[in-house]
Amino acid sequence: MAKEKTSRLIAQNKKAYHDYFIEETYQAGISLSGTEVKSMRAGKCSLKESFIRIEAGEALIYNMHISPYEQGNIFNKDPLRTRRLLLHKREINKIAAQVAQAGYTVVPLKVYFHHGLVKVDIGVAKGKKLYDKRDSIAKKDQLREAAKDFKIRNLTV
């Protein structure tokens, strides 16, 4: 009997790491309908324009696009509907206190299956300035060049 993988990535928000400094991350469950879960198993989910707000003591994710399930017919929900994130009350209060500070926001980082359940990694983030983004790009280029040089050097030895 083969062991099942514990987690499988569905979607990732690469733009979040480019636009924000991620201060702290949390793992949250997400409230979905059955056809949405089936669509996610097919990998049809996007975090491109999504964001998270804390409202009335609940964490809500907006604009997370889950494509309608092909065999779902009348059971399909709106692809861009607002979905509730499942977090402990103390975590929601802590996030709300951090967001109350100037410049902080909450962004979804990735969506994945963890032991058969859909989970969302969310990050409390502070926005980057243009010069910070340029620094990040320069560091990434340096690391890429160093890895390339290392690989070439090891092949010639």
| The pair of three-digit structure tokens given for residue 126, joined into one six-digit string | 């502070």
Cα–Cα distance measured from residue 14 to residue 10, given in angstroms and rounded to the nearest whole number: 13
State residue 1's pLDDT score. Answer: 47
Cα–Cα distance measured from residue 145 to residue 130, given in angstroms and rounded to the nearest whole number: 23
| The pair of three-digit structure tokens given for residue 40, joined into one six-digit string | 């996610």
3-class DSSP state for residue 68? coil
- What is the reported pTM? 0.74
Domain ranges for the chain, please list them.
Answer: 7-128
Q: Is the pLDDT of residue 154 over 80?
A: no
For residue 89, give the H/E element and its range: helix 89-100
Q: What CATH number matches the domain at 7-128, 2.40.280.10, 3.40.640.10, 3.90.1310.10, 3.30.70.100?
A: 2.40.280.10
Cα–Cα distance measured from residue 103 to residue 111, given in angstroms and rounded to the nearest whole number: 24
Q: How confident is the model at residue 92 (pLDDT cuts 50, 70, 90)?
A: very high
